[in-house]
Structure 1
Amino acid sequence: MAVDEVSGESVGLDEVDTRTGWLLNLIACAGAELVARLWQPGTFDVLAAGRDQQGRKLPAQGHVAAARLGWTPCYPDGIYVPSRVTRVVTAQVTSTLRTLAYRDTAIGVLCSRFDSDTGRLAPATGSEVCVPSGFARGVCRQLAARSRRGEGTQATWLRITDLQGPPQIAALARLSAADRQLAQLTVAGGELVLTVKLPTCPAPAGRAQWRWVRLTAAIPEHLHGRPVTDWHLPSLVLDRGGVLWRCAGTEMVPAADPVAGTVAVGVDWSPSTLGAAALVAEGPNGLSSDFHGWTYDDRGLGVKLARLQTEGQMLHRKSARLRQLALSASPEVRDRLESKIAVLEAHRTAVGAKRRKINRELAFHFASQVTAYSVAAGAQLIAVEDLTTLETRSHGRVNNNRAAQSARRQAVVALAHTAAGVGIAVVSVPARGSSAWCPGCDEPLSRPGGYHSAWCVRCEVGGNRDHMAGINLAKRVLLGKTNVTRRRGQMPTVRVTEHAPVRRCRDKTSPTPRQPRHRRVRCSSPAMTERVGVNSNQSVPASQASMWDTVKPVAPQGVAGSRDTRTSVRSATAVADSMRST
């Protein structure tokens, strides 16, 4: 519910959505204006140096750094915006520009090695900044497109402002960048109470048109038993259901000690599904595993994501083609084409929203399944592949694109969050050769059954390719648990790959995954009923009963509905004669 803080009157939720939309519109417009004004090479030079005009180090807070650099958004004449809303705008703009500062530096490094005639990059020297190969190919495509447009790449040092325009600013209000003069959050029982200033009109002219509104929302039931010690100010967005709060909370979890871990689960990112897991245990006789893994079942969400991705790409190609036609069309035809382009872009935005929602659901479902598997196995460590060095290749253009756009990063974040609640540490390990080398002898594996199979002739072990990769990843985290690198804001990482033989254990070590039965079908065996027809020697099973069956069989003619009445079986000759007569 929503209540006006001054008058105490109830405010309708539709009115709250409208006033929140006015606030987000002010933030988005001011942010777009500020980004367009700062979209120049000097801005990225300052961010890359990390120093202000006096040579002082820029603070980590975005709004403080923007205030020190003099970055202030401009509002239309006659509109009053509180200074705390300006903080929200500058914090969002500064974080976006800081993210693009790395891309600006990488573009400058790669353009000096780009050959416009061949469209390829020259080999890198040892003194250059290391750029991931996937990122380098994306920049190479941008440089090739610039060369095809006739703009050329004669400059020895291009900037990001030369290749692309300023980014869009999302309609998002990060209230954590402000203080109590804009928003306050309190907890009362099982409810969160947010008191925030909202405008009363689209263009507020003074302070009187900014009023306090008290919003109350219930804490979700799955968080009632969690040891949450503090709730932080949320980010406000608008979706189809109205105002959405994205809250962060501080929760006390058991501390995870990677050094003391003796059982590890390795998670391999698979091109066929999101991931697969396998178990390795460390004992007095060394490392052992039963070479039986577990494969994640995405419940068909991967097929839906592939369909939505194909649909989004089709909409993008069609809108791009219509833009090309609109350049040389008459004014009347151009207006019709622009209206069609607007419709296509709206559909593409809706498809993107569906994909984001499914990706988040898929990531947290995968995290819960892997965490449950690790808890059942008694594991203390979960090893995941390092995504910065992982790249999909040799699966075809379509499959490579689908794998590259999968929710792996979200799945890692969700897995680290879910596993921390049960005291399991998630560590990133090198990905190179995990599915190509044998865990026992460290020799190349053969593929007797195709891509998804793996077999070692020397050790006489094998199985699924993803399960073998999971064993290698779990082995690497157990061997490198004493050399874990920790950086603030990043996941613990093992950077050195070590080898030790993993022997095959005859005892069962990995847990048996649950096999959920479809609740709509009964478990009873089907009964055999006699076939009524030409050949009565064959029998067919009856259809499986379901609780969702609502269509009742029609009673035969002349039967009042009694279950004791038996119908006479017609002979095959009579049936054939009736068919001939018709």
Structure 2
Amino acid sequence: MSKLTATATCTAHGAIVEQTGQVVPQALLAERVAWLAGLARDLAADIVAGRWSAADLDALASGVGLDGRVLPSKGWMALRRLGWDVRPASGVHVCDRVLRCAQEQAARLLRLALHRRAVVAAIVAAWPREPGRRTDAEWAALRALLPDGVGAAEVRNRTRQVRAYRDSHDGVLPADLTEVEGPPACAAQIVLAAGDRQLATLERTSEHTAGLRVKLPLTACPASAKDWAWHLLPIALPPTVPSEAKLCSPTLRLHHGRVRVDLPFQTPIGFAPATGHVIGCGFDWGLNTLLTGTIGHLTAEGRVVTDGRPLAYDASGVSAKLHRLRDQREHLAAKRDRQERLLAGLTPTDPRVAELTPAYEVIAVEHERVCARIRRLNKALAWSAARWALDHALAAGATVIYLEDLATLEARGRRGRANARLSGQVRGQVVAAIRHLAAKHAIAVVTVPARGTSRYCPRCGTGTSALTHCPAPDRLTERGWAWAHCPGCGLSCDRDWAAAERILARGLLGQQATRTDRTTGTRAIRQVVEGNVARARRPRKATRAARRARRTRTDLHPRPAARDRSKNRPTPKRPTRASKTSSRAPDRRTVPAPLPNRGGQRPAGQAPQTTRPPAGRTGLARDPQHRTGFHRVAATPVLPLGQYADGPPRPRPPDLPEILR
């Protein structure tokens, strides 16, 4: 039994001083938390700025302390093994636990810098002739030097960073990350996980509440231990934290004048095996849709069979909204930069400074507001798509989900522009959300190579029969990208659907080559195993008349008896009805109907509707109204169909006789 670690953000609206019983309002609590977070930020910034050099980063990357022992995983202990101590300002009393929290934050920033340093070093070592366009051989040489898990977007951004440095230094490439960028900024937060019970304690008081006991300063510059006091912060746990979860030490920070508590918690989950899967789901990062998937079954003969039902999560409306927000953000950023240039060219005594400063502050606030809105929409979209994908896997009884490996997903041409259009939807967030939700239900998430999934036919081509792409099924002779057609077997389907089937086949057929990363726990298949995919439609249920005939032991079309097979007697006539119904619609008056609240006789015709008709059932299965959470998202409904997973029995009216049920 393993544990799943997640983080929930809570808000502390007030506190109580433990010694005096004084009730601390939210504004005063935010001020005291800001003092503590400011002390930790200043101490961490001193460490990062003082150790931002190639020699110190080499010492941290070596993993060995001054005493020759291996550095521990805890950041503050690793810095102390290296002798990187920090002292507060003179006249400020800070306990050793606060120093630990500052060292932990600094160690995390420096260890993240080691990853960026390795990426920059690999790019410089394999610098291409044309940085904007690498050849296949140059890409292969770069991939061999890059750390595991580096995506194409990170490589592209770091290449632009190195190119800007080279252009500003007369064609000289940087020797280290410290020459390309300065020390990273430290956030105003306090990481309580580095402390112990002498700084903070956390206890769960009920199923939905918890109590955080933390020592906070009473002044901005505490001079002695008397300027520190224990505060009890009641916390309301969100519904995402289950009752059996174990609460861990949180992180305190300030956000818009409110105290935010980033609370990690661990939930016990079952183990998801890497191999032995029979039913799986494959999802493709589509051009027309955000996610396009299919459900497949691995037979005993080693064949992959799908049910012929495509799954689509179309987020075109949200993408359009994100495009408008990004255009607005870029427009505000351009205006903000212009205001900065104007202010930089003026002296402080210039009277125009008083006119430009308020305008610059308004634009900066509006720019930050738009950026926050984009981040919230991206996060909500990512979790909605992940929830939808997991619901389909659960409905089908799948034990594994296969996705395209983002590190190998590098597109060109029309697809490259589509990837730029979908960049705001944060595919990495979708993958992380799918992994998080799938781990709760013991479903494995495995990535497969993305190269060639949209090029070859999933029916007849194992790397030999290439697909032709066209705009629509009735325009096969034109050149396009949305529809796929195979000239060999005649397959005609959506391009993303065909790619999803190949992703599913690569996963189910190559699951013996699944490798698990020991540090992150992510699973991936590096070896490409191709195989054809067959479509077998799910068997349809018997009609109501056939089920009724089986219950009454009759036949819908009985054979005539032996004495009736001869034509010795005439065929009996059908009984005639007294009155014949007509399919003609009744006559209706063309005058409008009176309002319901007013008097008057209603004319003949249909009565006006008082409520809207029920909407179509689309979206998540757990939502009783089957909504997706976005009014601009169209998603395939989650239905447990077919022989892969037996759905719940349909409810029957209790007042009907047994023969009619």
Measured against the shorter chain, the TM-score band is: 0.7 to 0.9
1:116–1:409 distance in 2 versus 1, CA, 3 Å: closer
Q: How does 1:225-236 map to 2 (within 5 A)?
A: 227-228=244-245, 230-236=246-252
Cα deviation, residue 381, structure 1: 0.6
Q: Which amino acid letter does the alignment assign opposite residue 434 of structure 2?
A: L
Question: Does the residue aligned with 1:248 lie in a helix, a strand or coil?
Answer: strand
Residue 444 (1) aligns with residue 466 (2): yes
Cα deviation, residue 497, structure 1: 0.9
1:464 is aligned to: 494
Cα deviation, residue 281, structure 1: 0.8
2:237 is aligned to: 219
1:412 is aligned to: 431
1:109–1:427 distance in 2 versus 1, CA, 3 Å: closer
Residue 269 (1) aligns with residue 282 (2): no
How far apart, in 2, do the equivalents of 1:223 and 1:106 lie? 36
Describe the superposition over 1:229-259 as per-residue Cα deviations: whole angstroms up to 9, x where unpaired: x211122222347222222222122222232
Residue 195 (1) aligns with residue 218 (2): no
2:266 is aligned, of 236, 246, 250, to: 250
1:85 is aligned, of 89, 98, 111, to: 98
1:158 is aligned to: 175
Residue 474 (1) aligns with residue 504 (2): yes
1:269–1:119 distance in 2 versus 1, CA, 3 Å: closer
Question: Does the residue aligned with 1:315 lie in a helix, a strand or coil?
Answer: helix
How far apart, in 2, do the equivalents of 1:310 and 1:343 lie? 18
1:140–1:423 distance in 2 versus 1, CA, 3 Å: closer
2:606 is aligned to: none
How far apart, in 2, do the equivalents of 1:400 and 1:322 lie? 32
1:563 is aligned, of 586, 591, 600, to: 600
How far apart, in 2, do the equivalents of 1:37 and 1:377 lie? 56
Structure with the greater alpha carbon radius of gyration: 2
Cα deviation, residue 423, structure 1: 2.2
Report if the CA contact (8 A) 2:166-2:172 is conserved: no
Q: How does 1:510-525 map to 2 (within 5 A)?
A: none
How far apart, in 1, do the equivalents of 2:233 and 2:587 lie? 62
Describe the superposition over 1:179-207 as per-residue Cα deviations: whole angstroms up to 9, x where unpaired: 11111111122221111111112222222
1:497 is aligned to: 528
Name which of structure 1's ranges 325-334 and 91-100 shifts more when overlaid on structure 2.
325-334
How far apart, in 1, do the equivalents of 2:28 and 2:416 lie? 48
Residue 377 (1) aligns with residue 396 (2): yes
Question: TM-score if structure 2 supplies the norm length?
Answer: 0.72
1:289 is aligned to: 306
How far apart, in 2, do the equivalents of 1:326 and 1:400 lie? 37
Cα deviation, residue 30, structure 1: 2.6
How far apart, in 2, do the equivalents of 1:496 and 1:232 lie? 39
How far apart, in 1, do the equivalents of 2:482 and 2:539 lie? 23
Cα deviation, residue 105, structure 1: 3.1
2:190 is aligned to: 173
How far apart, in 2, do the equivalents of 1:138 and 1:18 lie? 38
Q: How does 1:31-110 map to 2 (within 5 A)?
A: 31-110=44-123
Q: Which one has more relative contact order, counting CA pairs under 8 Å at least 6 apart? A: 2
What percentage of aligned pairs have identical amino acids?
29
Describe the superposition over 1:451-504 as per-residue Cα deviations: whole angstroms up to 9, x where unpaired: 222222323333222222221111111112222211222311111110121112
Cα deviation, residue 144, structure 1: 3.1
How far apart, in 2, do the equivalents of 1:393 and 1:462 lie? 24
1:22 is aligned to: 35
Describe the superposition over 1:214-240 as per-residue Cα deviations: whole angstroms up to 9, x where unpaired: 11223334545x542x21112222234
Q: CA RMSD in A?
A: 3.2
Query: Number of residues paired by the alignment?
Result: 524
How far apart, in 2, do the equivalents of 1:508 and 1:82 lie? 70
Question: Does the residue aligned with 1:259 lie in a helix, a strand or coil?
Answer: coil
How far apart, in 2, do the equivalents of 1:181 and 1:508 lie? 65
Question: TM-score if structure 1 supplies the norm length?
Answer: 0.81
2:562 is aligned to: none
Point out where structure 1 has 5 or more consecutive residues left out of the alignment: 510-526, 533-539, 543-551, 556-560, 567-582
How far apart, in 2, do the equivalents of 1:92 and 1:37 lie? 14
Q: Which amino acid letter does the alignment assign opposite residue 96 of structure 1?
A: L
How far apart, in 2, do the equivalents of 1:244 and 1:16 lie? 11
